[in-house]
């Protein structure tokens, strides 16, 4: 996976055209596959490293939550936490964020060991192999600057509009 900041930016960049709460839902969706598929395993491994009992839970295949079906189910859980009137759009935004995440991940190269996009219906793995998983790291400062700059301009324009009223 590219780093989480890049995933966040991949949603916040197009999200600059949306209402702030909607952009955040898109961003949440863009991080959701890693939050479900990587964070539990890494956290449990960290606890184990600290000498705390984890009962072998870190070996559970949380990675399935990084795939489309698993992430889609997580998106349903997230959407169920939203008010009813916002739920359909919220689900759509979170799912769109998930798609940006998986879309970015599929571009990477893991020497043919890509993503089981159709799990549990197929174990076949797929990736396009265009760049390495660490390739985005050196670009993060530029990505953050561009994203923050766009959101800064948006915030400045909204403030100016408010003042002129």
Partner 1 sequence: MTEPSRARGVRTDPWRWPVRLGASLGILSLIALAYGLPPAPTSTDRCWARPGSCAGEVHALSLVHADPGARILTSQRFYQLPFSGHDPALDRGVLVTVEGTFDEGGVFHLHWARAHPYRPHKVALGGVGLLILLTLIASTFSLQRTPSGLRFVPRPEVGRA
Q: Contact residues for partner 1 (CB under 8 A)?
A: 3-8, 19-21, 24, 27-28, 31, 34-35, 38-39, 42, 60-65, 69-70, 73-74, 76-77, 79-84, 86-87, 109-113, 116, 119-120, 123-125, 132-134, 137, 140, 158
**Which residue's CB is nearer to partner 1, number 137 or number 145?**
137
**Which residue's CB is nearer to partner 1, number 13 or number 63?**
63
Q: How far is the CB of 76 from partner 1 (least distance, A)?
A: 4
Q: How far is the CB of 129 from partner 1 (least distance, A)?
A: 10
Coil, helix or strand for 55? coil
Cβ atoms of 131 and 2 within 8 Å: the answer is: no
Q: How far is the CB of 155 from partner 1 (least distance, A)?
A: 8
Cβ atoms of 38 and 64 within 8 Å: the answer is: no
**Which residue's CB is nearer to partner 1, number 103 or number 158?**
158
CA nearest neighbour of 5 among 145, 150, 154, 99: 145
**Which residue's CB is nearer to partner 1, number 72 or number 99?**
72
Peptide bond into 120 cis (omega under 30): yes
Handedness of CA 42, 27, 68, 117 (dihedral sign): negative
DSSP letters, 14-29, are HHTTS-HHHHHHHHHH
CA nearest neighbour of 68 among 44, 39, 36, 42: 36
**Which residue's CB is nearer to partner 1, number 13 or number 35?**
35
Measured CA to CA, the distance from residue 11 to residue 27 in angstroms comes to 5
Q: How far is the CB of 147 from partner 1 (least distance, A)?
A: 10
Q: How far is the CB of 123 from partner 1 (least distance, A)?
A: 6
């Amino acid at each position: 996976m590219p780093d989480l900041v890049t995933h966040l930016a991949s949603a916040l960049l197009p999200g600059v055209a949306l209402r702030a709460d909607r952009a955040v839902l898109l961003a949440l969706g863009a991080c959701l596959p890693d939050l479900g598929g990587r964070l539990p395993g890494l956290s449990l491994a960290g606890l184990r490293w600290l000498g705390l009992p984890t009962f072998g839970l870190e070996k559970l295949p949380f990675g399935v939550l990084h795939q489309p079906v698993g992430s889609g189910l997580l998106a349903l859980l997230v959407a169920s936490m939203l008010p009813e009137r916002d739920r359909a759009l919220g689900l759509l935004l979170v799912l769109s964020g998930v798609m940006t995440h998986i879309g970015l991940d599929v571009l990477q190269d893991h020497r043919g060991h890509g993503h089981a996009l159709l799990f549990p219906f197929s174990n076949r793995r797929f990736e396009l192999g265009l760049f390495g998983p660490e390739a985005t790291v050196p670009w993060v400062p530029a990505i953050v600057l561009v994203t923050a700059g766009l959101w800064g301009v948006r915030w400045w324009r909204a403030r100016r509009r408010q003042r002129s009223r």
